[in-house]
Structure 1
Amino acid sequence: MGILSDDPRYVDFVKRYNGDLTRFVIEVLGSSPSHQQIEMYDSVSPFGSRTSISSGHGCFAAGTLILMADGKPRAVEHICVGDRLMGGNGRSARLVESLARGREPMYRFTYADGAGHTVNESHVLCLMTPDGLRLKMTVRQWLDRPPVDQFRLRAYRQVVGKRGYRPIKIESCVALGEDEYFGFALDGDHLFLGADRTVLSNTGKTYGFGAICAWHLLCFVGSNTYLHAPKLKTLQEGVWQELSKIKTALNKGPFKWLAQHFIVEAERVYVRKAKMEWFITTRVAKQGNPEALAGTHNRHLLWVVDEASGVPDENFGTIGGALTDERNRFVIASQPTRTAGFFRETQTSLCSENGGPWNAMTFNSEESPLVSDKFILDKLLEYGGRDSPEYQIKVMGRFPEYSDKYLLSRGQIERRINVAPVIAATEPFGNMLIIDVAAGVYRDKTVCTHVRVTGYGDRLDPQPRRIDVIDIPVFDNTLDWGEVAGRVRDLALHISNVTVLVDVGGQGVQFAKMLRKLDVPNVIDVNWGKKCFMTRYKDRFINLRAQCSVHAAEAVKDGRITFIEKHKKELIDQGSRIPFFFGDKGEWHIMSKQDMLKDENIPSPDLWDTICMAFLEDAHYITDESSGQYSADDRVKTAREAADEEFADA
């Protein structure tokens, strides 16, 4: 077998597809791209293109049976994060990474054998053409096709004990009106099986990159494609999976002759007999060493950079220095997590609208045909509305429109001082003593704050956490640990069923041991530098400190917290100066205390820290015997609820 460029069919193939990436995706890969994907493909197609994509982040009716990896069926509404489903090939497993719930117009697809599936309008269908080419499209896209095109496409099933698939005719599609749907996101190739072994799908973000890389490899002789990202392994694994899937698709369709030249190895994808000259690969550069990305000159050169907000600006300078041929292309994509840097400039001062070379695109999830209205409504509530920087980054794909670098303003905190309690006298509540221990006498202050608390979770939960600050009995930098421990013991003995939270970072470990030796009840160690436990918080917050700080700020904004006059100045000064920023994946970070002091001249916010710790995801309480209608049954119920929450994601 000769090299690809010697194949007599190759000249016509290149003429048809090397200037039209969208046509390549539809005709060669058998995909039905969304309008946003078409916009991206059309941007990348021209020689010398510079494409910058700022982006934010399908389902079944209840009762739909999905095939688990162990071969047993399970109703879709009972599938949980961490479950393993049977992969689309009938042999591998697919991990459930997250769940989707909502309401949308539903449709019942019935097949020739009487079986069928009820799915939502945004669901992605897996279909097969009469000549065996497999493709995907949403229900909405299928409905937009003429009837003759709709019913010439088939669903298909994996054949038990074999590697092949069997097409099955779609007899009818009936609109059922709006109803609840259930879905999930998977790893790998996103294909899985229904209980009847029909191949089903959800979508993956890396498909677009895989399609672009395959097009550049196959349509340009001697082309070189490089991938780069802060977490390169994750990007490479995703794109390589898509490229493997593309090769499989080529083998099944009219372009089987291309697949013979398409070689996928662990570190490199290349054209047969041109491994070192005609390829797709990755480039890594350690912090402060952008030169590792140099030396990639080629007439047909493509660089693809993901999570671009997290890539050092000097890396872009080195990559740009290699794009010396007017045909070279550059594609970068990211959530808009940084308000400065090269990626932001490609979306603003360097974009084509301002006379620059970059075609700046924004993929707003609100406009995506693959995102349900329920998802949007859930995120509006979770992130605090369209003015929330988190919503603008993760959903709208925009750089956030916030001018403050702090979580709260002075006025927001001041409005919650000396107002009516948020916990009524008739409802059950618990008590907490929350302690932040000073590093030493005459240094920062040791703080002990007494709060009354009820509820669990954040603004998404039916009974989110509410607290009333009752007292701040210790706020001093002259007392030694023994004196403070004695005061805490005396307080704990006079407060019903109190829970004592101690920040065990630094000197707190020894202080917590001292309290236990004094027989102080219910002492809980807090290490808020750890990762969050609950799945929904892991994606939003870099650690527990960020989680409880953001949730405390949300409680202030939502009116779920009250403060007393005591130490008012310190409370406002500290609470209104908590600097935050967003990480590469849009997760919340709170500036470290070392950087707060060094960069902002802000001392440790010890008092405010004790307020925030009341909102830790695992800060549980025991109901006060004097509150509401308390009984032994209540104690058991509270303990069970606490255990249920701790193991919710286990």
Structure 2
Amino acid sequence: MLNDDESLVGLIEHWRVSPYDFVVECLGVLPTEQQRGVLAAMAAPGARVSIRSGHGTGKSTLFSWIALWGLCCFWDVKIPTTAPTAHQLSDILWPEIEKWRAQMLEPWRSAVRIKSDKITLEGTPGFVAARTGRKENPEALQGFHAEHMIFLIDEASGIPEVVFEVARGALSTEGARILMAANPTRLTGYFYNSHHKNRDLWTRFQFSCLDSPRVSPTYAREIADEYGEDSDMYRVRVLGEFPHASVSQFMPGDVVKAAMGKHLREDMYGFAPIIIGVDVAMFGGDRSVIMLRQGLYSNILYQVRGNTPETLAAHAARLYDEHKADALIVDATGVGEAVMSSLRLMNRSPIAFYAGEKSILPNCANRRTEVWYKMREWFRSGGAIPNDSDLRDDLVGPEFQYTAGSGKIQLERKQDMAKRGLASPDLADALAVTFGAEVQAKRMNAAGPGIQNLRSAWKPTDMKSRRYRALDRRR
């Protein structure tokens, strides 16, 4: 017969491989089917679990269970928890942990100690730590070392990208478990990528309110009645699905997605001018990019980090000649002036674009906003872009606001994007620059005459039919 200590050890060993049984047996609660799937996934060392969820499905409860499971079932364990605000940790997660601690079996209930920023288990070196994940505190998930690591990231959509960049080494520690969850409000960032371009690296769950017994059906009906079932509010708050566009996002994600990888060719738009846009990197980490647009077709021709203005100008001149372009438009702001000068020395005639100048359009605050606005209309008209994830992220990254007083649209500045942890949208800016001037095709290429040149291109001698000539004489 096992003594008490041996019974406890055997129970802990069993719970260690079954978080679900820990919750049922130690906390005395039956998880929902949604929660059960996550508990099973977290059992594996090295688990990487990401949950996009509607409102009220039990994310914070799930986090509190995993925190107590890790603390009670592993000896040398560190469990960093983070969220965008201290409120999320101190007013929501910590009280939830205290609620379930009070329901634990003994001796664990008495052994768990809860302080304002740390939770410990008496007699063990392990702890749960609270760290706010803000851009002012990018080290939130750094500096933790233990045999067992469990990272809990709540409201992950709102965690700045810089926090994840700084924590990349810690998150990739061998055997470390990661659980993150959020209402999927944003279409960029670490959390979004865990369900999209990095989805193969994660075990992904979607918690819809419609499938959760924790959420009253009345809630979903009220959201549907107020906003509509096809609204982004319903998608995010009820279905746990990413929106078509975030509230302040300038370029809708569904519009960009529809444009990616369309089977359009440059020669399909022989009637349209060929325009090459150049976005010049302001800083060493940014990219200088050259893009081509003709009609509804576009393509990335060149991108590089750390080029000199003279070298970039040489590439722009070469591509201008190769594609027999009708216009070469350069963002001449800052170091772009040096690119302009180099192009002139090469006997080219670039068109200067200055992002900060007053917009020609009355609803836009400046020229950068203006060309992005025109680019958005181009997308809605059927514009096509390469199937490039960086270009997609650049396009959907910037947010916008309305200026005080005049109420004009103003696109988010690159500096403010950097504060949110987003990269400079160099690829998207290069495409936007192609809308910086009105350009007419200078010639008719092999695809046929331009629409505006049809009248002058067709001559009576082209009409070989006697019938046509007879009809002309009758007139």
Q: TM-score, normalised by structure 2?
A: 0.51
Shift of 1:572: 12
1:327 and 1:406 mapped to 2: Cα distance? 39
Task: Report the equivalent of 2:117.
Answer: 267
The reply to whether residue 239 of structure 1 matches residue 86 of structure 2 is no
2:235 is the counterpart of 1:392: yes
**Structure showing the higher helix proportion among its residues:** 2
Quote how far apart the aligned CAs of 1:55 are: 0.5
CA contact (8 A) 1:335 1:394 kept: yes
Q: Whole-Å Cα distance in 2 between the matches of residues 212 and 370 of structure 1?
A: 19
The CA deviation at 1:45 is 1.6
Q: CA deviation at 1:306?
A: 1.0
Partner amino acid, structure 2, of 1:259 = R
Structure 1 residue 212 and structure 2 residue 25: aligned? no
**1:591 aligned residue:** 401
* Root mean square deviation, CA, Å: 3.4
1:330 aligns with 2:184: no
CA contact (8 A) 2:161 2:190 kept: yes
Residues 516-595 of structure 1: pairs in structure 2 closer than 5 A:
591-593=401-403
Distance 2:12 2:151 in 1: 21
Alignment check: 8 A CA contact 1:297 1:324 kept:
no
Q: Report the counterpart of residue 227 of structure 2 in structure 1.
A: 383
Counterparts of 1:318 and 1:7, CA distance in 2: 42
Is contact 1:50-1:357 (8 Å) kept?
A: yes
Report how far residue 267 of structure 1 moved.
Answer: 2.1
Q: Which amino acid aligns with 1:396?
A: L
How far the C-alpha of 1:284 sits from its partner, in A, is: 3.2
Name the residue aligned to 2:19: 21
The CA distance in 1 between the partners of 2:400 and 2:140, in whole Å, is 31
1:230 maps to amino acid: P
The partner residue of 1:45 within 34, 43, 47 is 43
- Residue 393 of structure 1 aligns to which amino acid in structure 2? V
1:142-172 Cα shifts (integer Å, max 9, x gaps): xxxxxxxxxxxxxxxxxxxxxxxxxxxxxxx
Q: Is the 8 A contact 2:400 2:409 kept in 1?
A: no
- 1-side partners of 2:92 and 2:45: how far apart? 26
- Distance in 1 of aligned mates of 2:364 and 2:120: 60
Equivalent-residue separation in structure 2 for 1:599 and 1:267 (angstroms) = 35
Q: CA deviation at 1:263?
A: 1.5
Q: In the alignment, what sits opposite 2:138?
A: 290
Offset, 1:219 = 0.5
Q: Deviations over 1:521-558 (max 9, x none)?
A: xxxxxxxxxxxxxxxxxxxxxxxxxxxxxxxxxxxxxx
Q: Which residue of 1 aligns with 2:303?
A: none
Residue 298 of structure 1 contacts residue 325 of structure 1 at CA under 8 Å; is this kept in 2?
A: no
Deviation at 1:295, TM superposition (A): 1.3
Q: Deviations over 1:488-547 (max 9, x none)?
A: xxxxxxxxxxxxxxxxxxxxxxxxxxxxxxxxxxxxxxxxxxxxxxxxxxxxxxxxxxxx
Q: 1:572 to 1:278 in 2, by over 3 A?
A: closer
Q: Which amino acid aligns with 1:222?
A: D
How many residue pairs get aligned? The number is 270
Distance 2:168 2:219 in 1: 38
Structure 2 CA distance for partners of 1:392 and 1:298, relative to 1, 3 Å: same
CA distance in 2, matches of 1:270, 1:7: 20
Match of residue 216 from structure 2:
372
Give the letter for the 2:45 counterpart.
Answer: F
Structure having the larger proportion of residues in strand: 1
Counterpart residue type for residue 93 of structure 2 = V
Structure 2: distance between partners of 1:295 and 1:219: 22
Q: In 1, are the aligned partners of 2:150 and 2:178 still within 8 Å (CA)?
A: yes
1:333 offset after TM fit, Å? 0.7
Contact 1:227 1:236 in 2 (8 A): no
Shift of 1:12: 0.6
Give the CA deviation at 1:258.
Answer: 2.1
CA distance in 2, matches of 1:40, 1:204: 12
Supply the distance in 2 between the matched residues of 1:247 and 1:292 (Cα, whole angstroms): 25
In the TM superposition, residue 245 of structure 1 has moved relative to its aligned partner by: 2.2
1:117-516 matches, within 5 Å, as 205-250=59-104, 255-274=105-124, 277-351=125-199, 356-385=200-229, 387-402=230-245, 405=250
Q: CA deviation at 1:242?
A: 2.3
Cα displacement string for residues 4-51 of structure 1 (whole angstroms, at most 9, x for unaligned residues): xx9544321222100111111111111011111111211212111001
Equivalent residue number for residue 412 of structure 1: none
What is the rounded CA distance, in whole Å, between the counterparts of 2:231 and 2:411 in structure 1?
A: 28
In structure 1, what is the Cα distance between the partners aligned to 2:362 and 2:171? 54
Q: CA, structure 1 residues 231+592, in 2 after alignment: closer, same or farther (shift >3 Å)?
A: farther
For 1:313, the aligned partner's letter is E
Matched residue SS, 2:201: coil
Report Cα offsets for 1:432-452 as digits up to 9, x if no partner.
xxxxxxxxxxxxxxxxxxxxx
Q: CA deviation at 1:596?
A: 3.5
Q: Secondary structure at the match of 1:41?
A: helix
Shift of 1:367: 1.8
Q: 1:374: Cα distance to partner?
A: 3.0
How much has 1:348 moved relative to structure 2?
1.1
Name the SS of the counterpart of 2:206 in structure 1: strand
Q: In the alignment, is the contact (CA less than 8 A) between 1:268 and 1:280 conserved in 2?
A: yes
Please tell me whether the aligned partners of residues 85 and 133 of structure 2 are also in contact (alpha carbons under 8 angstroms). no
The alignment's TM-score, normalised by the length of structure 1, stands at 0.38
Partner AA of 2:401 in structure 1: M
User: 1:260-312: per-residue Cα shift (whole Å, max 9, x none)?
Assistant: 322122221101134xx311111235425423532112221111111111111
* Partner SS state of residue 17, structure 2: coil
Q: Does the 8 A contact of 1:297 with 1:323 survive in 2?
A: no
Is contact 1:262-1:269 (8 Å) kept? yes
C-alpha distance in 2 between matches for 1:217 and 1:272? 10
Structure 1 residues 205 and 405: CA distance shift in structure 2, 3 A = same
TM-superposed CA distance for 1:204, in Å, is 5.8
Does structure 1 retain, via aligned residues, the 8 Å contact 2:245–2:251? no
Q: 1:240 to 1:321 in 2, by over 3 A?
A: same
